[in-house]
Structures are given as C-alpha cells and as structure tokens.
Amino acid sequence: MARNSIFLILILCTTLVCDAAIFHPISDSHRSAALEIFAPVDGSFGSLEEAYEALRTFDLLGIGKELNIRASACPSVVDTLGSGSSSLKDLFYALRVNMLLKCEISEEVFAGIASRCKASVHDAKSLFDFYYSIGSLRLIKDHASEVDVVLSDADEIFQAIKALSQSDGKWRYSSNNPASSTYAAGVALQTLAGVISLATSEIDQSLIGLLKNDIVKLFDGIEKYDDGAFYFDEKLVDALGHEGPLSATSSVVRGLTAFAAVTSGSLNLPGDKILGLANFFLAIGIPGSSKDFYDQIDALACLESNRVSIPLILSLPATVLSMTRKDQLKVRVTTVLGSTAPALSVKLVQAFSSGSKGASIIESQDLKFDAENDVHFLDALPKSVDLGTYHFVFEIVLHDSEEKNIYATGSRTKVPIYVTGVVKVDNAEIAVLDSDLGNIETQKKLDLAGETALSLSANHLQKLRLSFQLTTPLGHSFKPHQAFLKLRHETQVEHVFVLGNSGKQFKIILDFLGLVERFFYLSGKYDIQLTVGDAVMENSYLRELGSIELDLPEAPEKATRPPPQPVDPYLRYGPKAEIVHIFRTPDKRPPQELSLAFVALVIFPFLGFVVGLLRLGVNLKNFPTSTVPATFAILFQLGIAAVLSLYVLFWLKLDLFTTLKALGFLGIFLMFVGHRTLSHLASTSVKLKSA
C-alpha cells in the first residue's frame, strides 16, 4: 500500500515540476562520481589523453590526491617526450600531464621538442597540426621559461590559421575540407590565443578585430532551450566522428576564454548568453562518460574565471516548504563550481499562487543573509500562504556597480515553490441507503488516519454513499488532484469512480440499480478502496476500507460478460513444476540355468576351433625370427586379441559409439602392423623361390 501511495505522489509531482528548471552548481556528488568514472585500471590510464582529462578533473574538483597517479604516469611522460618518433598529439598531452604532475624532465628535452614544434608550425597542413604544435610551445613556455618558444612570424601564422575561418563564425579543419565545424571554431580560438601569447611583438589589431567579429557571428548562431540554457550544436560528421552539443559547446567556451585572456577590450557578448552556457553545462547533471565529464568540468572552470563575464548561479536548497515543519525559504548564490559569490543581495521581487490571476502575496522584499551558512533566507512565509503551488521571482543585486561588467547575474529568475502540509479529514462516513426514500439503513464512521475494516451488504435496489470533508491548515477547502473510490470484485474485476466536491464536502453516491450492467451482474464480495492524493498533501491516502457484499440479479442471456483478466506473467513465464518420469517395469528375466546353458552354447564353437587347431597342428614355420619383423608380428596378433576383447567389452558394458571409436583406432593400428608383417612374409617367400 505504501509503495502505491509513493508512486501516486511521484506521478503528481512529475506533472507539476517538469516545466521548470533549477540549476545547481557543482557539488560533492560530482566529486564522488569523478572518482568512479576516472578510476585508473591497475594504477594507470589507457593513454596520456585519458590521464590528462582525469588529472585535470581531479585538480579542478580538489580530489584524487590519494591515488598516487604520478608513479605510473611520469614514466610514460618521460618516454614520450624523450622519443623522437612520438606524434605531435602525444607530445601535447604528455606536456599537459607533466604540467600537472611536474615530472623530472631536463631542459634539453624541452628545447628539442620546441625546435620540432616550431618546424611543425611552418609545415602544418591542418588545424590540429597548428593546435598541437602551438599548444605544446605554450606549455613549454609556462614550464621552462629559458627555452626559446617565441614565434617571430606570428602574423603570418595567425593569417594562415585565420584562412580556415568561415563567414558564419565556424572553421574548417583543413583547406582541403570545405565543411565547417563549431567544434573546430573552439580549437581555432585556442590556437590563435596561443599564437598571440607566443608572438615576439603585438599582433596586428586589424586581425584581432576580424577575429572578434567572427566570435560575434558564431554567437549569433547559438541555440537555446526553453529553460534558458544556451548551447552550440554540431552538424558536421567526418573522420573525427560526430561532436555533440556538449563537446562543441565546451570547445567554444575554452577558445573564447583563452582568447579573451590574451587580448584587451570587450567582445560585446551579452551576459545572458554566458550565463545560459553555464546553465547548459549544469543542466546535464553528472555525465556518464569520462570524456563528457571532463568537457563539462573543464568548460565550467573556464567560465569560473574569465574576462568576458563570470556567471553567478542562483539555486534553492529546497523548493518544497512544509508548513508542518515551518521550513524557511533559502536561496544560495555561488559561482558555477560552488565558490563564494561577491557581495550581493537577493530580492524577492514577487510571489504569487499558480492558480491566481496575478495577485501577489509578496512584493519587493529583500532576503536576509546568513554569512555563516552563506545563504539568503526569508524569515517566514506570509500568513496568507496556504497549501499549493507558488511562483517566486528572484533578482540578484550586486553591491558594487562596477562588478556588473564582471559577473553575469541574468534577469529575474522564476522558481516554482511547493508549500505542503497535513490536510484535515472531517466527517468521514459511509452508508447504505434505501433506493426509494433515501433512508439510511447502515451508516459507519471512518477513520482515514487509522486502520478501517468495514463489512457491509447491499442489493441492487440500494445505494452506497461515501462522504468526507478536506480542509487545509488555514481552514480553507482543499481539492486534491486525485480522489476516487475503487470497488474490486473477488474475480479481480475493478470499477473506479471519481469523487465530486462542493466546497469542503466530497461525496459520491453509487446507485447499484443503475450499475448492474457495469458490474456485469456479478454478485459477491467487493473490496472498497479510497484514494486521495495531491503533490502538496503530506498525508495522502490509499486506504482499504473493507468490503461490501452485493446481491445483484442474474445476468440476462445477452448481457456483457466481464473482460478476461490479465494473466500473471510469473505464472506464464515463471518456473514450471518439476516433471518426474516413471519408467515402465522391466520384463521378467529368464531363469539362471537357462542363461548359463545359452552361454555354454555360444562358447562351444570357440572350444571346437581350439581343439581343431590342436588336432591339425599349428604351423609356426613362417613366423618371423628377426627382431623387427617378429615385433610387428607379435603386435599384429595382440591387435587381433584386442579387437576380440573389445567385442567382449561391448557385450558387457560399452555403448555402440564408444566401441566404434575404439575399433577405429585399433583398425588403423592393425592395418599398419599387419602390412609390415605381410610385407616381410612376402619378401621372404620371394627369396626362397629365387634360391
């Protein structure tokens, strides 16, 4: 019963909540999931790329220090960086891992890699050639400052990469591939940011201006969900596979923040779009794959500290407030990774009931701030707030006006709030009425909060009445989303009736005379079940009230028959009863004397054969005398004896297939030794004749 009640409430909550989205910053649940998703196998990862994604995620979330990944990853980093045959991609990720683990790498190794990467920049034929080479040089610059990694011809390299851009802000992977990609745009922005940081002199500002225009065009094509989340979709499918919205959006965010970090001036991007990008990543929850998890956390870390606009997330620890527990409304404002927000206030602009027509219960009220718990709260709900669904509209107000250019707070945030409580049930009763005058023949009070076991009886000329009153904690009438009565026959045929209401009173009258056809003229015992449920009702009911014995008339010939009841799948597909096979009684065996006489008759011909040999004399003159021929002759005789013994075993206990298998091996053996024996006898006979 309890399980059905919970299921009922979940259905109700789902229908009410799904149209609203509340975004929450990164929490401890992400940290626990990261340790499982990025768990190393036997202390190591499959590749340096996987190792970097795990280490980067651990570093951003502040976890994984106890795993001791350095011992297994550093040898691979040293081997990769010291090998002249390592690919640009492997060198790039080895340098990234080294940046986090600080492996012991000499400056000579860095100098050699820098020289190779510089040459690769000038010979690059694709966007990823530029990306890995310039990315490696930038990593070497941060780790080994004495190594020469600057680009003297940065303007030419910048233009070579810029040549891959498209008019809509997207980029191509190479000059030979005409298809454009959003993911490639993010890669290009990261690469160009690296070129700017490695340049010996300032890049031509006209080129920077063109690139800023490309970024604006790229953001003009951004897509939006109904909940306010912005994202970039990827339509290109090529040899790299299909990059979904998560990887494409994270690539653009990395490129945008990297480019903004090395350039001056504004990019003229609306703060609402930056906040929408953050909401997109947070709305994903916890991704199932390590690649998606890394893309989510790394992109949020880029948004956490960027020069464009830092998004602030308004979240509610709880959107369900209980009048029984006197819960407080609490609001928390943090960055995307859960860090403390700057000095600000949260204003409750408006609060109104979802069923009202614009009538506000709260208007323009500042929430109080609890510095110890870092939450903004409302002391108490207005006394007029009763059970139901409300919409609260919040607004973030920064104390320092100059920080409006640094943080993205978005516009007003509308959040659904559910106020729950205990609904009082009064005057609950059930009665059997006379059909003609409506006189009460049987009447019983109901205690819906406790156990009830009724036992009623009625015929087709009587009626059943059920009534009760529902009131909220403030004494108002309450209309639940579900209120119905179910009668279930002993044959499992069910009938459901919806209860109507008039103000606080809920009542239903079942006239059995008009229901005989619906009941299929089935007399007998009917179980009575009452269901009253609502998302804001803390004491929803699913009660078995008892039973009623109905005496209905006999069904006419053409009456509708009750529908066949579904067969229990366990009975159909479950384990069947064990089958016990009883063999027939074996035939009676013959007397022992008769069996022995039959055996004697079978052996008698063999004895006659032996006697005959003794009478005629056995000729052993031609039996070989040399060692090798004599050995084959003896083996041949033993093989014949083995075949005869096999026949005896077949008669006693062996089955046909086992016997044939053994006979096959013996036959091959006899053919071999017999052929050698007969060959010797034939050669001996030829020699005697020639002599």
Residues 426, 423: Cα–Cα separation, whole Å: 10
Longest CA–CA span in the chain (Å) reads 140
**Which two tokens mark 496?**
């459901």
∠507-513-515 over CA atoms, to 5°?
70
Report, in angstroms and rounded to the nearest whole number, the Rg of the chain calculated over CA atoms: 45
Closest CA to 425 of 545, 548, 547: 545
| Rounded-to-integer distance, Cα 467 and Cα 454, Å | 15
Closest-CA residue to 27 (of 413, 440, 317, 350): 317
Distance in angstroms (rounded) separating the CA atoms of residues 60 and 301? 7
The pair of three-digit structure tokens given for residue 405, joined into one six-digit string: 């250019």
Q: What 8-state DSSP symbol labels residue 223?
A: E
Report the phi/psi class of residue 374: left, alpha or beta, with left for phi > 0 and alpha for psi in -120 to 50. left
DSSP 8-class letter at 411: S
Take residue 70 and report the two structure tokens written for it.
């350095």
Q: No. of H helices and E strands in the chain? A: 18, 27
Helix (H) or strand (E) holding 590: none
How does strand 368-370 pair with strand 424-434?
unpaired
At residue 257, the 3 state secondary structure works out as helix
**CA distance linking residue 87 with residue 428, whole number of Å:** 80
Q: What count of other Cβ atoms lies within 10 Å of the Cβ of residue 642?
A: 17
Angle between helices 70-82 and 107-122 (to 10 degrees): 60
DSSP structural state of residue 41 = B
Token couple for 350:
């408006």
User: Could you give the C-alpha distances from 7 to 10, 12, 242, 540, in angstroms and in order?
Assistant: 5, 9, 39, 11
Residue 345 zone, left/alpha/beta (φ > 0; ψ -120 to 50; rest): beta
SS3 561: coil
Q: For residue 137, which of 180, 182, 197 has the smallest C-alpha distance?
A: 197
Distances (CA, A) of 296 to 55, 184, 229, 342, 506: 14, 18, 14, 24, 51
HEC string for 475-500: CCECCCCEEEEEEEECCCCEEEEECE
| Residue ranges of the chain with per-residue pLDDT less than 50 | 1-20, 239-241
Dist CA 93 CA 81 (whole Å) = 10
The DSSP string of 146-172 is: TS---BTTHHHHHHHHHTTB-TTS-EE
Coil, strand or helix: which one is 330? Answer: strand
Residue 129 exposed, middle or buried by CB count within 10 Å (0-12, 13-18, 19+): middle
352 class by beta-carbon count within 10 Å (0-12 exposed, 13-18 middle, 19+ buried): middle
Indicate the residue type of 403.
E
Q: CB–CB of 512/550 below 8 Å?
A: yes
**What pLDDT is stored for residue 17 in this prediction?**
34
First-to-last CA distance in the chain?
Answer: 111
Which of helix, strand or coil describes residue 61?
A: helix
How many angstroms separate the CA atoms of 481 and 550, rounded?
30
How far is CA 230 from each of CA 56, 102, 224, 544, rounded to the nearest angstrom? Answer: 25, 37, 4, 50
User: Is 34 in contact with 427 (CB distance < 8 Å)?
Assistant: no
Q: What is the pLDDT of residue 3?
A: 37
Tokens 């959006």: give the residue.
Answer: 249
pLDDT computed for residue 686 by the predictor: 78
DSSP strand pairing (388-398 vs 344-353): antiparallel
Asked if 164 and 172 count as a contact pair (C-beta separation under 8 A), the reply is yes
Question: How many whole angstroms separate alpha carbon 214 and alpha carbon 171?
Answer: 10
